[in-house]
Structure 1
């Protein structure tokens, strides 16, 4: 909600009413939420009704109209999550010097939607459009940790727990314990579990409904140690994941926790 819309121009007042409409139906409640006079709210709502952005339901109540749904459908039809994540991913890459990945959940796997190479003399074997397993990757475990246990069990039953490397967790109970740890601290770690010699730190990304839709990660090789302690890097990755989630319209309280907000420690580039 915009602060002090009552002191803004007409556009600010209209936007404030539109933003309040999903959570408040009555003119009195919308006025209280926006700080606008009831007469102003009523006048704006009448204009929104005329343009089908709102619909009256009787007894002074209103809901979103078909024009909102139509516009939302058009926007989502052309929605490119990677484009919305670009700024946060670029800053994460610059701050850490690591390769940065953004992957989206696709049925029982995740698919790389964006990749930025770090300032290293080597490149990661990953590529945009490539699918990755969930049980043995940082991004995959960050996603699984946010899914209901029954959904995780169903995915494991369908896909199995392939041993990608000698470090891959292949027992369901061991995976559950790992996911409990991920859920508790808010980030996941891939310690050569998907590719020999590659380490990843990852955090989940949420969409406009608040549900997990993917994750981001920083990656390096075992021969090139992390520039900063893992906990500091993890805090930076969580902050970037929160920024990407916000850019995708996730509710502000979705997936909040230590290390995910603007006040998280920056990562030293030295």
Structure 2
């Protein structure tokens, strides 16, 4: 398995042996087996590439991929650690769609629901994802879909949104200060997929009548860690999943 994983980044037997810590003779033997089963290709000159069997297998896995299932444990842990309502939202076209929700420990429930579409420019999950999206793409999106004013606090200016997204990326987390719903505030962090692309965000929500019980920076650290954990469960490269590094 370590040799198979090393094939994603290395081609030469010497390099694979170095990163796996295995003797070159062992790597040669394993590669021969992988080639026999089409998980590797011998392209000559001591170089190997991932084989077609990897592509077909990954295609099947992605075809059955259920984000909410892979993220469930991390989302529930976040709810238990904070007590707040937790959401996982993914970018779908010009919107964010809630794919998972864990209710908080309070007697009230948030009005959100799984399957609900929301605008990314005024939500913590949306801004967290957009902060890692190319600015030109963000501008194209808001020009195409508009920037609906949901409350008096909603950002409706394109340049102001871009500046906000730069700040979000700088600090690693996004805030929704009654920008989508009056009386509700949220804190979100980005989630990345297997290709290292920001595909959505994870967030915690509370009422303005019951503000954060901890400093925002402390809560943000917790949410960002869960975002990294979910990203890893989605197969994100380690360097991408650790967005704070």
With structure 1 as the length reference, what TM-score do the two structures score?
0.88
Which residue in the other structure is 1:17 paired with? 3
For residues 22 and 14 of structure 2, what CA distance do their matches in structure 1 show?
10
1:82 matched to 2:86? no
Which residue in the other structure is 1:207 paired with? 193
What does the per-residue CA deviation read over 1:66-103, in whole Å, with 9 as the maximum and x for residues that have no partner?
11111111111101111111111001001111000001
Deviation for aligned residue 1:124: 0.4
Which residue in the other structure is 1:250 paired with? 236
For residues 158 and 9 of structure 2, what CA distance do their matches in structure 1 show?
41
What does the per-residue CA deviation read over 1:79-133, in whole Å, with 9 as the maximum and x for residues that have no partner?
1111111111001001111000001111111100000001001000001011110
Task: For 1:80-159, list aligned pairs within 5 A.
Answer: 80-159=66-145
Gaps of 5+ in 2: none
Which residue in the other structure is 2:227 paired with? 241
For residues 35 and 193 of structure 1, what CA distance do their matches in structure 2 show?
52
For residues 235 and 31 of structure 1, what CA distance do their matches in structure 2 show?
37
Which residue in the other structure is 2:155 paired with? 169
For residues 150 and 57 of structure 1, what CA distance do their matches in structure 2 show?
39
Task: For 1:250-269, list aligned pairs within 5 A.
Answer: 250-258=236-244
Task: For 1:37-56, list aligned pairs within 5 A.
Answer: 37-56=23-42
Poorly superposed stretches of 4+, deviation over 2 Å: 255-258
Q: How many residues align?
A: 245
Deviation for aligned residue 1:224: 1.4
Query: What is the SS of the residue equivalent to 2:104?
Result: coil
Deviation for aligned residue 1:256: 2.6
Query: What is the SS of the residue equivalent to 1:254?
Result: helix
For residues 74 and 144 of structure 2, what CA distance do their matches in structure 1 show?
34
With structure 2 as the length reference, what TM-score do the two structures score?
0.97
For residues 160 and 36 of structure 2, what CA distance do their matches in structure 1 show?
58
Query: What is the SS of the residue equivalent to 1:195?
Result: coil
66 and 257 in structure 1: CA distance in 2 versus 1, 3 angstrom threshold: closer
What value does the CA root-mean-square deviation take over the aligned residues? Answer: 1.1
